[in-house]
Amino acid sequence: MTEMVEGNNGETPIESAAPVDESRPEWLPEKFWVEGKPAYDKLAQSYGELEKMRGNLREKLVEELTTERLAARPEAPNAYKLPEHEKLDQEQLEASGVVQWWRQFAHDQGYNQEQFETAINTYADLQVKEIEESYQREFQKLGESATARIEAVQLWAGNYFNEEEQVAISAACTSAAGVAAMEKLMSALKGSGVVDNTMFEKKPEPTRADVEKMMQDRRYWHPADRDPAFVRQVEEFFAKTFR
């Protein structure tokens, strides 16, 4: 508000104090405006109720999501079914302490069957990959004649040892040092009269029926009992057949 003040010759306008506006601010709801001033106590009370309602809503939402998540899990840890995997042995998995731990953990976390299987399949794939990479490193250490050296040991062991003993020898021959050790044993026994020298002679090429039978052997398909030399015989047969 502007007005002229006496003694100023009427030349200079001077601003006078504007009256205080005691009307309700637009941002403040009417219920919080009492007797021309804000009702802070009501405002605080309303805010508290809002916070409480928001907290209850959050708890309800979390409860609903948890219920929905747990509804998809099996009733008990042992109810999880092991996946059918060509590289997994069901009996060994059932007896594995790691699998029992994973079942309990998955159940506690509310994982469903698919999540349970995914973890086991992923673990199996990683294990197989590590075994194959390790074998390739050892295979390279044997040099260019690696295949022939492994086959010679395998054929000799097949003639001289029983099936259980062959498994142990195959396990030893997963490393270059193991193959070298078996070669020393073969060399020491050859011509000593302890074994028949015909044991060192190379066997005839396997037939398709022989190879199909080999493919059903655990030494071919089982990741734990997998015998690289045994597997290579199968692969080389098909390579020669279809080349």
Q: What is the pLDDT along the chain (243 residues), one digit of tens a residue?
A: 444 445 455 555 555 544 444 688 888 888 888 888 888 888 888 888 888 787 777 777 667 666 666 677 888 988 898 887 777 777 877 888 888 999 999 998 889 999 998 988 888 888 888 888 988 999 899 888 888 888 888 888 888 788 888 888 888 888 999 999 988 988 888 765 555 545 445 556 778 888 888 888 888 888 777 787 788 788 888 777 766
Domain-located, residue 203: yes
Domain-located, residue 7: no
Nearest to 150 by CA among 178, 186, 179, 171: 179
Domain-located, residue 12: no
pLDDT at 21: 46
Give the domain extent around 45.
30-65
Q: 93 with 45, same domain?
A: no
Q: 197 with 159, same domain?
A: yes
Q: Are 242 and 146 in contact (CB under 8 A)?
A: no
The pTM of this model reads: 0.44
- How many domains is the chain partitioned into structurally? 3
Q: Which of 133, 151, 175 is the last residue of a domain?
A: 133
Q: 148 with 117, same domain?
A: no
Domain-located, residue 123: yes
Domain-located, residue 187: yes
Nearest to 80 by CA among 99, 96, 95, 97: 99
pLDDT at 152: 87
pLDDT at 101: 92
Q: Is 221 exposed, middle or buried (0-12, 13-18, 19+ CB in 10 A)?
A: middle
Q: 174 with 215, same domain?
A: yes
pLDDT at 226: 79
Domain-located, residue 105: yes
